[in-house]
Structure formats: C-alpha cells, structure tokens
Amino acid sequence: MVVFALLIISKAGGLIYNREFNAGLAKLSSNDLLILAGTFHGVHAITRSLAPVATHPANRLSSAPPSSIAAPFPLRPTGLEVLESSHFRLTCFQTVTGTKFLLFTEPSQPNVDVVIKRIYELYADFVMKNPFYTIEMPVRCQKFDGALDGYIKGNVR
Amino acid sequence: MTVYSFYIFDRHTECIYSRRWHARPTSSTAKNARPQSSSTITSNGESTAGGRRVLSKEDDAKLIFGTIFSLRNLAQRLGGEENNFISYRTNEYKLHYYETPTRIKFVMVTDTKMNNLRVALHQIWANLYVEYVVKNPLSPQEHAGGVGVANELFEEGLERFVSTVLAT
C-alpha cells in the first residue's frame, strides 16, 4: 500500500503543488510536470464532454417519468475520476471551485477517496486559511507539508 | 452491464472502425441537414441537449483518440516505457483501452460498473480482428478510411461477442 505523489492543479490548469511521498514514479523535471498538469487539465475537460449517448441528458429525460426529473441535485458530469494503468492508479478529485487534486497510488490501494477528502481538508485548513497565501499561486506552506507528511506516513501506509 | 461504443484506431491515428450500441438522441437528427464542410463551430447551427453539445460520430472518435493518446503518454512518462494505460472512469462512463504490439488501439466505452475489459479487447483482437480482417485476402494492408475492417464476418462476430460475453 503505497501513495506515490500528490499534485494540485489550479482551476486555470496550472500546477500549484507537487509532492512525492514514495519513490516509484519516474522522476520528472518541474517543466515536464507543468506540461503534464496542463495536458491533464485539457483531457479532463474533454472526458467531461464525451458522454455516451445512453447517459446523455436528452435521453435520460425522455425515458424517465416526469416525476423523477425534479431531483434536487441532478447528476453533473465530472470528467475523469480514476485512471488505471499497470503501475499506478491516478485518482482525481475536483472541488466545486475547479481545483483538482491528483493522487498517484498503487493500483491496489483501497479507500483512496477517503485519503483525498482528508487531503482536501488539510488544504482548506493550512493553505486557504493562510493569510499570506495568494489564491491560484503555487502553494508554499510549511504547515501543509508537515500535515500531509504526518497524515500520509502515519495513516495510509 | 452496458456497452455503449467500440472503436479501433490504426497506427496512423485514424479511426478505422466505430460502432455504437445505443441510438443517438433525437435532437441530433437535424444535424444531418447541416452542410458537412463547416468545420468551425457555429453557435446557432449546433444541436444541443441538456446544455451540452451533441457530438457527431467523427468528432467523438477524434476526441476519444486525443484523450487516449494523451493519457497513454502520461502513463508512459510517469510509469516508464512498459507501463500500460488500462482504463479510466468518470461518473457517467468507463473507457477501456488495449493496444497491440503493432500499435492498433482498441477502445470500448461501457457503463461504470463494468470490470476490466483488457482481456476482452485482447480476445476481440486475436479472435475477430486477426481472423477476419488481417487474414482476409481481399482486405488491404492499411485500412485507410476503414476499408476492409467492417466486413460481414467481423461485424457479426463482434455483435455476438458483445451480446453474449459482455452483456451478462
């Protein structure tokens, strides 16, 4: 059970935080990481628009009885959530404001959504509540680093 | 367990076969009347459904190729050369991917509850594509524009495979 790395992508597609917890992924230069984040941002937008026809809102509305349309929160397309490859699994969590948390884990890691929610909480506590942090800018907060280390090394592994 | 669509891309990035198992939404039928030459997106000529644009079959295939190409490169760059991109999932669908050593790419889009289809895609390649397309003496070596892939035996076999193996 290994968590490899965490990336945070701003809503504009820029990489604002990257952290490696365990070795296992290829070493990338910071430039390559920026390219990777930008590519992922674009692909994420494409995957959201690629709805298969059967789940398309037009089809769903026509087949569903009229009473069920008035659901309080209609299902919104999320874009890529989990990517599986033979060496790692990438879980993407997008906040309501569009910030994306990318967590690279082993393919067999359980409960990744719990881990990623907890990381989001840490981000809210130590980055968003930091008065010296400018929004949409790279995250440089020692407390956040420390809390992440403590959580990942203490609980996940 | 539902299979939505299936695509084959050749090594020249061209979509040589595509198949959908669900009817397109009715709003998109008006799109056929539109002239095909316009490649730019006009705001009034597009058919929309539920606030989203309904993509034509060709646009869909191009977007899917762009997606799998980027994700495959991402997986290889992060995990090394022998790391294979297997699948990705959104809250609406799951896309399965299999690439042969000759870089023919097989893509299947299913609902989110489907298990890993890598083996199934490998079987489609080995038992249907190789048997009915590659070994067909009348089929050209390169399938530019999809020539030679959509023959009767292959389509029948694919139909049978999807309805028996994957529908359970």
CATH code of A105's domain: 3.30.450.70
Whether A61 is in a domain gets the answer: no
For residue A104, what is the enclosing H or E element?
strand A100-105
Q: How far does B60 lie from chain A, in Å, by closest CA? A: 7
Whether A119 is in a domain gets the answer: yes
Structural domain range at position A116: 3-50+70-156
Q: Which residues pair with A104 in a beta bridge?
A: A5, A90
For residue B119, what is the enclosing H or E element?
helix B118-123
Contact status of B88 with chain A (Cβ, < 8 Å): yes
Structural domain range at position B52: 3-25+46-164
Provide the residue-wise pLDDT of chain A in tens; the chain has 157 residues. Answer: 789 999 999 999 999 999 999 988 888 899 999 999 999 999 999 999 887 765 555 555 444 444 444 455 566 788 899 999 999 999 999 999 999 999 999 998 888 999 999 999 999 999 999 999 998 999 999 999 999 999 998 876 5
Q: What is the pLDDT of residue B41?
A: 43
- Is A47's CB within 8 Å of B51's CB? no
Nearest CB to B89 within list A51, A55, A82: A82
Whether B111 is in a domain gets the answer: yes
Condensed to tens digits (0 to 9), the pLDDT of residues B10-23 reads 988 899 999 988 75
Give the count of Cβ contacts less than 8 A between chain A and B: 132
State pTM to two decimals.
0.81
ipTM of the complex: 0.83
- Closest by CA to B8, choosing from B101, B127, B98, is B98
Whether A33 is in a domain gets the answer: yes
**Best to test chain A binding among B27, B62, B88, B110 (most A CBs inside 10 Å):** B88
Nearest CB to A87 within list B4, B70, B79: B79
Domain count, chain B: 1
Spatial distance between the Cα atoms of A110 and B75, rounded to a whole number of angstroms: 20
CATH code of B81's domain: 3.30.450.70
> Could you tell me if B69 and A81 are in contact, meaning their C-beta atoms sit under 8 angstroms apart?
no
Alpha-carbon radius of gyration of chain A: 18
Q: How far does A131 lie from chain B, in Å, by closest CA? A: 34
Report chain B's mean pLDDT, rounded to a whole number. Answer: 81
Condensed to tens digits (0 to 9), the pLDDT of residues B67-123 reads 999 999 999 999 888 899 999 999 989 999 999 999 999 999 999 988 889 999 999
